[in-house]
A and B are shown apart, each in its own frame.
Chain A
């Protein structure tokens, strides 16, 4: 008996929930996965790490029944499984939360949860709502079962996706970049839910590009490189540097270069900028600051505190309140008032905005068009009035592809076929390549792998050295502190403080973010 206990006791942690052997998947000429052999244990959190386009999503989609492997075998709980549809996956207890949400917008939360489930002919949502509530209680989150998805925030949608999977009683959970669009606080909450699930004996596979999250949440890390499985490391034996190197396959220096600003000139002077949302709620109140050519100005703040409105006002996409003023001082030209100008006029003056939206695919790119055509979208007003010139956009596309290492079979491949991160490289690359004199980027590294994130930081630094005024909105305070020269902190639509990034601390910024005036208030 004792022997038996000892055996199961030990076996608990090492029992294999998922075993992949020699998995290969091709899309036409692209090999997304080749000969992947790895396993996931029961009651563990496994992080799946790899560069953009390394085949993480594809591999997981084969577990959830979206794709079927061309070669190889899958074993679930020690039994050979053939997962031909998402339904097969549910029956095996596999649930996946996709990189791009799979929710029906016009349905309520409860309707989305019961979607596709077997059961009586009539729809009895009362029971479902009960069960949703008890799941929420058990794992500690909040949701309103009657809320329509289209009126939910990203994190509410995320929560709903998790409830959906738990409702179906999944034992193996796959989360594809769940934190890419969450604020640090929301991420913390998600992680405590994940820990609860692990304690419950479930296996969790999580994909994320943020190495500190990998360190924080995972037990083991599996690494993919260009579709091939490299190795699995114990998280406790690894650190961010070794992980990044294993992922990229070469030595990396993980620090952001910060050249001293040179030849600083005032480019933008924002005075008393105020905005009101469509429902009459003030989103920005009397924001004033200056931005200089040759420096990177960071903007920090919790989500919804007005960063978006601020950038959009400068780009001419927001209606501003009377009294607001944004003066732009170009090189060797007259000062220009940007308030009241159209987005096109502002763009023509050399003020560029690249905004990576939360749903990433929703804005700025046409999914069915290739890279070249997407480059052309922004410059449609220039060149010959009748015929399209493909040469320039093609060169531009080629340089973005090279600079950022976009993984795509050709410049004409529809961008929606690219991996999530690669889609985004196209979006950001296009703005940077336009050689503006004020460059605003928001969430530029959302969903980008480490290597590419650093490539983006380098590009921004290059722009800074050229004398461009760079405004960088980001979520990661550590990065803001390393990359920027000054950081403007917003809190509830007000300027809470402007600090020197070389001397400020993370805690200081955290205080400014939650209270106007921060530590001095």
Chain B
């Protein structure tokens, strides 16, 4: 029972990281841009958020709770947004190849994160990690730790506020895309920029805003990973990059719909952690090589979903029709 709860618990946290990344990427892709820089953006956000919290904590003896929340959140968002801005400048304005630019952005983000972490570690003098404990405490504060509510509390109420914010964000994005004028315009930009343009929509502006905002959301995902999943520790070794790729796969899995991203990301995380949790749960021992194989499950499921989605031929479940194509009004 306990191992089941802990499996669910860790999956919800891990799933939330994926959800942030996927929501950010959905917004980007809705504008017709495939940004493969999600892992890099998460790195940028994670590092900027953590570093700013770390610096703030060290600069004062009794940190202000509100500032503890706002400073790292803003820094995470802004840093990743800058990454998104760079991406949109290259792909929207200069019309560079989106895949190459995205991959370069991943390398860049991971590089900056690694470089920065070396600087941080040299400040603390630690060999493997540095901590922002006060920030982590604020971010992971939850009802369940105050009043122990048993299994229910552990499964549903034992997370910091960002975990719930992710779900709220998904709902809001769904409402934005499906029920507002701007959301309709954004979808049109990703489907058919020529049509959107002829309808008087500022295609370039929409692409920039969607990509920058999407990048920022990915950054918050990275920060959430450090502060909640790693309990406020920035270590030189972390698996943020793997989560980033999971997020990219999840966009396809959720058929580009934010509301699907909610349950799909939890499911992804459950599948991802199946390898480590199933043996303890069932009492069957499996070789470590098999564990690694089992970690492929989310990707295999994504491939299956792609196959099923393509055979069903429901047009609404396809990605934006102009995904990956540059747009230039005078080109035809």
Give chain A's interface residues, CB within 8 Å of chain B: 27, 64, 66-67, 85-87, 90, 96, 98, 102-107, 111, 114-117, 119-123, 148, 150, 416-417
Contact = CB atoms under 8 A, between A and B. Distances in A.
Given A64-B198, A102-B199, A416-B332, A117 B181 contact: yes
B180 A105 contact: no
| Interface of chain A, main secondary structure | loop
B214 interface: no
B196 interface: yes
Contacts of B330: 27, 66-67
Contacts of B315: 105-106, 148, 150
A96 B195 CA distance: 12
Given A67-B330, A90-B200, A123-B179, A116 B185 contact: yes
B191 interface: yes
Interface string B178-189: 011111110110
Nearest to A101: B195
Contact of B191 (A66, A104, A119): A104
Contacts of B181: 114, 117, 119-123
B198 A102 contact: yes
Given A105-B321, A106-B316, A111 B192 contact: no
Contacts of B195: 102-104, 115
A59 to B, nearest CB: 14
B191 A86 contact: no
Interface of B: 179-185, 187-188, 191-192, 194-202, 315-316, 318, 321, 329-330, 332
A248 B138 CA distance: 79
A175 B182 CA distance: 28
Nearest to A119: B181
Contacts of A102: 192, 194-195, 198-199
A103 B197 CA distance: 11
Given A64-B198, A115-B199, A104 B180 contact: no
A477 to B, nearest CB: 33
Contact of A86 (B199, B318, B321): B199
Given A115-B184, A120-B181, A123-B181, A104 B192 contact: yes
Contacts of A116: 185, 188, 196, 199-201
Contact of B196 (A105, A115, A117): A115
Contacts of B182: 121
A-B interface, 6 closest residue pairs, ranked by CB to CB distance from nearest:
A116-B199, A87-B200, A102-B195, A116-B201, A116-B200, A115-B199
Contacts of B202: 85, 87
B282 to A, nearest CB: 44
Given A103-B192, A117-B199, 12 more contacts: A27-B330, A67-B330, A85-B197, A86-B198, A87-B200, A102-B192, A104-B188, A106-B191, A107-B187, A115-B185, A115-B196, A120-B181
A85 B200 contact: yes
Contact of B192 (A85, A105, A123, A416): A105
B292 to A, nearest CB: 39
Contacts of A27: 330
A66 B203 CA distance: 13
A98 B198 contact: yes
A27 B183 CA distance: 34
A400 B179 CA distance: 51
A64 B198 CA distance: 8
A321 B330 CA distance: 48
Nearest to A118: B181
A512 B184 CA distance: 47
A417 B330 CA distance: 10
B176 to A, nearest CB: 10
